[in-house]
Amino acid sequence: MSHRRHGLIIVKPAHHQRTQQDILHLLTTASLFPGITIACILPREWVDALYAEHVEKEWYENHAAYMTSGVSVVCLVNHDLEDDPIPTMLRVKRAVRGLYADPMVSYRNAIHTSDSLESAEREEELFWQLVDLHAHRRTT
């Protein structure tokens, strides 16, 4: 019996919308189906919560500025995989980073994925906070 699991994938701000569309297509070909999806400029406080373990690192300020510099596509990914879905997500992440990374600036990679079941659970909670924040901003 399969269990529905979720993971978080963020297609980071890209120079061209086409890049984001290509990445989303790559996800679906790997049987990772974007469920609820938000396209928005990420609030700094949300980025800080997502990357809490990195905020003291010397590169973090540049990374946070990049993450809040343009529209990201944030997806709660659905999958019915019998096996742990995280290895599939990590393979996709490596492939996307290889195709779309900025070779001059390592923190400007194109995608974030959950890297463990524990981080997927924590990131799913953050995702719902972003949904609430996004809905509130659209109604005010």
Residue 25 is predicted with a pLDDT of 82
Residue 51 is predicted with a pLDDT of 95
Residue 139 is predicted with a pLDDT of 62
Token representation of residue 75? 């997806």
Nearest to 85 by CA among 28, 5, 1: 5
- Going across the sheet that includes 5-11, the strands are 33-40, 72-79, 5-11, 111-113
Average pLDDT of the segment spanning 41-62 = 95
Cβ neighbours of residue 86 closer than 8 Å, sequence gap 6 or more: 7, 114, 115, 116, 117, 120
In this structure, of 2-6, 55-59, 126-130, the range with the lowest mean pLDDT score is 2-6
Task: Region of 75 please: left (phi>0), alpha (psi -120 to 50) or beta.
Answer: beta
pLDDT confidence bin for 77, thresholds 50/70/90: confident
What does the alpha-carbon distance between residue 8 and residue 121 come to, in Å, rounded to a whole number? 9
Listed by start position, the domains of the chain span: 5-139
In this structure, of 5-19, 37-51, 53-67, the range with the lowest mean pLDDT score is 5-19
Residue 103 is predicted with a pLDDT of 73
Work out the angle at residue 49's Cα, subtended by the Cα atoms of residues 77 and 36, and round it to the nearest 5 degrees.
20
Tell me the fold of 5-139: Alpha-Beta Plaits (3.30.70)
**Chain-centre distance for alpha carbon 87:** 15
Model confidence at 37: pLDDT above 90: no
